[in-house]
Every structure is written in C-alpha cells, then in structure tokens.
Structure 1
C-alpha cells in the first residue's frame, strides 16, 4: 500500500536507454484521502519496515528490470521519509540512501559519488482513497494461527491500476501491484510510450521511528538538477 507520494523523475527513460547513472522512484500510488475523511482506513502516521521490489519497464521496445530490497522509515507527522536501497537495474548494482524532507522542501540523494540535493517531492497522507474498491475483507497471509488477516483493494486510474493488500486491523501495507502506463503514473509525456508492472512486498513493519538518525544528512550536499514528479510517487533507484 502506498501511504504518501514522494518522487523524483530524473529523465528516467532517456538515461535508462543510455545506460547512465540515474535516479528513479519505484511507483507508489498516491493515496490522497485525508485521515479525518477516509472512507476505508489509514496507515499509522509513523512506521518503519523492509520492502522487496520487482519492476519491469518496456519503452519503445526496450525492456528494463529493477529488483532488490530497501528499508523505509516514514514520518507523516514531520513530513519526512528515508530509504536505504540495495537494488539492481538490469543486473547493475545501485546502492543509495534517500531522505525526502517535504517540510524543508529538500530531497537528499546519497551514494558512492557523494551527496546531492534537489527539491522535495510531495508528501501525501497514507489513506486508502475513496475511489478504491474493496475486493475482499476475509483473506489471510500465513498458515493457521501464524497468519494475518488482510483486506484487498483495487484502484483504477486513467491509464493504470493498483492492487493492494493491507492488514485488516491496522491498515499496514502487505503487498502492492501496479500495472499500466508510466506516463499516466508520473504525469509526464515526453518519454514515449512506456508500460510498467511493479510488485512490492512489505515485511518487518513496526510503529514509530526507532532511531531518528535515519533522517540525518551530510552537512555538505551539492545541488542537482532533477525533475520532480507531480502526480504519483516513485521510489528511488
């Protein structure tokens, strides 16, 4: 389930085709409902956990595969989120840490080349949107007593669809699958026709922020020219 919209879209398709270093965000659906008016449910305002991802993109006949893991720490109260990513793009390793500080309107990208900063991307509340359709409220992940009850939702947007499952009692994300047009997801049309499918899994979720050092950034960080996403969230590679 996607709880907020964070995102940065740095000439993704162009750089993928060139094989150059790039920044990309794994697609999260932007859940736009406010907590006070949510029809379904809202995730905890602060939580941490692990994520697994497999994502495929096809652009003008060229395919790209993204896979790997990351840790996430999200603080809706202070409008800040941090990722520590260990990923592979077509087999090429990409290791980086991202801190998106919406309150101060800065996003930090830290990798082997140093620290770079750009304008923060949007941070939206983590509620299932009102236009979602609840497909089931009586399924379980696990075996017997060692299982968790989940609710599943489908959200159809213009050009793409989102399928997600969250815990029935606390709205914590469990799995999410997104399929459709990358242009529709990002709201940007200049990269040519691109189709994507992404599967996310969540594990070891815990409430609160255990150590706020996850949001620390270097004192010196060079500006970077990037293009923030205006509509839907994307995770970073």
Structure 2
C-alpha cells in the first residue's frame, strides 16, 4: 500500500478518535485491510492482514502480518454472525481536505470496528477483529535483533 495512504489511514484513525470518543489507552486485535489505488495511471489492488497492538500510553503501535498486492484473481468469502450477541456501534462520517473518512466504534467502549478512507486516487478499508483491551505481550514492541542496526523511519512521528 502506498505510504501516503497508510499515513492518511493512521492519521484519520487518530483524528476520528479525538473527535468521536475516547479509545482505550491499550488494546490489541487483528486488522484486515483491503485497498485499491491509482498511481501514475496504474491501478493497484491488494490486502493486508495483521496482528496489531496499540499502546497510547507508550505511543507505540505494532503490526505483524502478511500483504498481498495485484493478484489477477482472488476468492473472498464473508461470514457475519447474526446470533443473539450483537455489537452496537456508533458510526462517524466526515471529510477532511477532500478525504472522506468513515469510522465505526463499539458504542460502550469506543474500540474500533471499521474504517473507510477515500481520496481522489485511493480507497482503503480497515476491519478490526478480536479486539481486547490491554497488551498481553509488551515484547511485541521490541525491535528485532536483525533490525536494530538499521536506519529507522517512522510515520508515527508525523502523526503525533
């Protein structure tokens, strides 16, 4: 996914929670992203699936997962649970600098459920799955040994 779109998605998530409600300080879950974009006249589409940890207290976010881009064909099956346990969400929609943002969060706890962002050249959709308050393994934020001598670049500092 284009870095600009990732920054827009992360920025819109941070902005939406500042405007809409108070997200828990620490939470973790799984994140699924579908995206499509046009860059230099070329259409690109793909998916990303991560285990995600969000720690506002220590200002850290960790994603560990897989990415697929520009498959010519793929199969998708969506199953939604309409059992007795229902999830009540609040839905927020707003536009910021020609970027359309839609966010849904659990009504009682403000935990994120979905996020949809559209610009003139890109569309991104994020789904948060299995979110639980707190961080079960703080080592997820440790930089792997193989990366410790690398030059670091962070989009998070842009968003702070």
TM bucket, shorter chain: 0.7 to 0.9
Say what the alpha-carbon RMSD is for the aligned residues.
3.1
Query: 1:83 & 1:46 partners in 2: Cα distance?
Result: 14
- The reply on whether 1:31 has 2:14 as its aligned counterpart is yes
Aligned to 2:119: 180
Query: 1:169 & 1:203 partners in 2: Cα distance?
Result: 17
Check the 8 A contact 1:175/1:200 in 2, yes or no. yes
Task: Give the one of 75, 88, 102 matched to 1:163.
Answer: 102
Larger helix fraction of residues = 2
Task: Give the one of 209, 214, 218 matched to 2:135.
Answer: 209
- The reply on whether 1:199 has 2:125 as its aligned counterpart is yes
TM-score, normalised by the number of residues in structure 2: 0.78
Specify every segment of 5 or more residues in structure 1 that has no aligned partner in the other structure, as ranges.
1-7, 14-23, 92-140, 182-194
| Superposition pairs of residues 9-88 of structure 1, within 5 angstroms | 9=3, 27-28=9-10, 29-32=12-15, 40-88=20-68
Aligned to 1:104: none
Greater relative contact order: 1 or 2 (C-alpha under 8 angstroms, separation 6 or more)?
1
Larger strand fraction of residues = 1
Question: How far 1:226 moved relative to its partner?
Answer: 5.1
Count, aligned residues:
149
Question: How far 1:159 moved relative to its partner?
Answer: 1.8
